[in-house]
Chain A
């Protein structure tokens, strides 16, 4: 067989070109969620003081109809000149806790009113991405 340098270089060149063509040239930028705990409208009731999944929910002004917990960090995708791509690493859920005020409105001194957890619903919402070299993606 007649091997020469071009025999090796040509496929390599083609592979690199393919990588360059298919590469999204993006990178993942980790962003800290500025407002990870979001309280819904508050009804007049005793306040809320609760720790759910390690997150302290504290509200002195009444009982929120719901509280949404966003993941602490998420990723944005930014264009770059590097041969990299931001790929999804972890799919994170947003949690909505619903509450109700358990109070008898007949009671004049509402010592008994309690802000009680009612239910929790998850929904997809935030992605964590990582930056991966494009040739690693092709190889993968």
Chain B
């Protein structure tokens, strides 16, 4: 057995001095180099295909100060773990929100700046932040708890930011080896629970990350949705995103997707069918085909879905044209026109004026007035007043009154109802008078008590259905002293 006699060698003294110097240097500076507050680990090469090993390395680096030489007594606390950093971000988010709620913009801005810096630090320190984030998402069972809800929000940002940085790297390196498996992991995690669905949907829906290689995963979710084991809405939106991305990336041509859509149109599950007619609607060449298919099916549910898709996604003028085409199938398109009016009220208003000039399609005009007249905008006010004065269809005038009575300005609403009650086509029809009671309820909801009082007096003297009379009595009882308009026996004096 050899004796350990290295210290007797000629090199012993210089070596010992060197070791002592190195020890002193490391003791003084080494732990700071690895400190969490001054991350030393540069972002690794984006093309790195071993996230797990790199994760271990990152963690080792993050925890190096604890495992290396004993720290001086004054050393900083151990580097926070990934989970601790997420919780710190939750606290920062809550603090920023509290400052914002207290109308303290300076404090909110400063708190937000710190949150951004901490988030950047987190993403730099943990090159596998996405995988760690997904792991943490798995533990979020009850997302309604404030802390859990906060974690969900932060983890959404982590997972999405991870997708973004890997996507950027993939574009630079022309290599998606780090992105695609991560996206697949997100897809796999989606059905776990509600929080996982929310995090995954935030990262993937209407984002550029899904590609052809994820098609089986997305279709798997569509299948789960068909079995009512996953959100139908999210499955549909993922499929729509996938098709958009495949087309943009040139993985499928528009014609190929349209052919696929035609197949799904007839035989697909509801999510596939939605994706199919959206694809076909985007292409003018196929629009008439979809309409013909719809007329043949005469399915109100599908027609509504199609109308909403058009209102949400087609260029406004194309959407108006399509909604007009759908009118023989759909008797009520108010929701679609309201959606479209939020996007482009002027186009809906122009569409209305055009139909009014031709004095055609009164039902469509009604829905257009509901859509373009209900938002609390100057255009909506102008259009509703115009319709009330000029539209020959009593149904349209009634809905113009409804829109006007729903505005914040009491005088506008009251004048509109009074004007309607002067209109023989309304005043002489008990059903229409009953509709004016709904308008009165709109005024009541906005606290316009005096207007309710004046109109209540007038409405009480008019003929209407018994059910409308009961509603009127309830409105008056809620909003007026004694439940009677002023000047009535038992009511307050005029």
Q: Which residues of B contact A112 (CB under 8 A)?
A: 93, 96-97, 100-101
Within 8 A of B (CB), among A88-106: 88-91, 93-94, 96, 104, 106
Min distance, Cβ A76 to any Cβ of chain B, angstroms: 10
CA distance A91 to B398 in the complex (A): 14
Please determine whether B339 and A109 come into contact, CB atoms closer than 8 angstroms.
Answer: no
Min distance, Cβ B99 to any Cβ of chain A, angstroms: 9
Min distance, Cβ B103 to any Cβ of chain A, angstroms: 11
Tell me if B438 is interfacial: C-beta within 8 Å of chain A: yes
Within 8 A of A (CB), among B379-405: 398-399, 402-403, 405
Tell me if B201 is interfacial: C-beta within 8 Å of chain A: yes
Q: Which residues of B contact A40 (CB under 8 A)?
A: 335, 338-339, 342
Interface size on A, residues (CB 8 A): 33
Interface size grouping (class) on chain B:
35 or more
Q: Which residue, B93, B150, B335, has most C-beta atoms of chain A within 10 A?
A: B335
Spot the interface stretch: B13-21, B66-74, B109-117.
Answer: B109-117
User: Which residue of A34, A110, A122 is within 8 Å of B441 (Cβ)?
Assistant: A122
User: Which residue of B149, B150, B343, B442 is within 8 Å of A122 (Cβ)?
Assistant: B442
Q: Which residues of A contact B112 (CB under 8 A)?
A: 106-109
Tell me if B435 is interfacial: C-beta within 8 Å of chain A: yes
Q: Which residue, A34, A38, A89, A109, has most C-beta atoms of chain B within 10 A?
A: A109
Please determine whether A124 and B465 come into contact, CB atoms closer than 8 angstroms.
Answer: no
Q: Which residue in chain A gives the minimum CB-CB distance to B439?
A: A122
Spot the interface stretch: A3-11, A13-21, A60-68, A131-139.
Answer: A60-68
CA distance A124 to B442 in the complex (A): 12
Q: Which residues of A contact B438 (CB under 8 A)?
A: 93, 122-124
Q: A107-B112, A110-B153 are in contact. Are A88 and B97 (CB under 8 A)?
A: no
Q: Which residue in chain B gives the minimum CB-CB distance to A47?
A: B198
Q: A40-B338, A91-B435 are in contact. Are A109 and B465 (CB under 8 A)?
A: no
Tell me if A2 is interfacial: C-beta within 8 Å of chain B: no
Min distance, Cβ B411 to any Cβ of chain A, angstroms: 17
Q: Which residue in chain B gives the minimum CB-CB distance to A41?
A: B339
Q: Which residues of A contact B153 (CB under 8 A)?
A: 109-111
Min distance, Cβ B205 to any Cβ of chain A, angstroms: 8
User: Which residue of B100, B101, B406, B465 is within 8 Å of A121 (Cβ)?
Assistant: B406
Q: Which residue in chain A gives the minimum CB-CB distance to B234?
A: A61
9 A-B contact pairs sorted by A residue (CB < 8 Å)? A41-B343, A61-B201, A61-B234, A89-B467, A91-B431, A111-B153, A119-B408, A123-B438, A125-B334
List of 6 A-B pairs having minimum Cβ-Cβ separation, nearest first: A112-B97, A109-B93, A121-B406, A111-B93, A123-B402, A124-B435
Given contacts A61-B201, A93-B438, A108-B112, 6 further A-B contacts (CB under 8 A): A61-B237, A90-B467, A96-B338, A111-B150, A122-B442, A124-B398
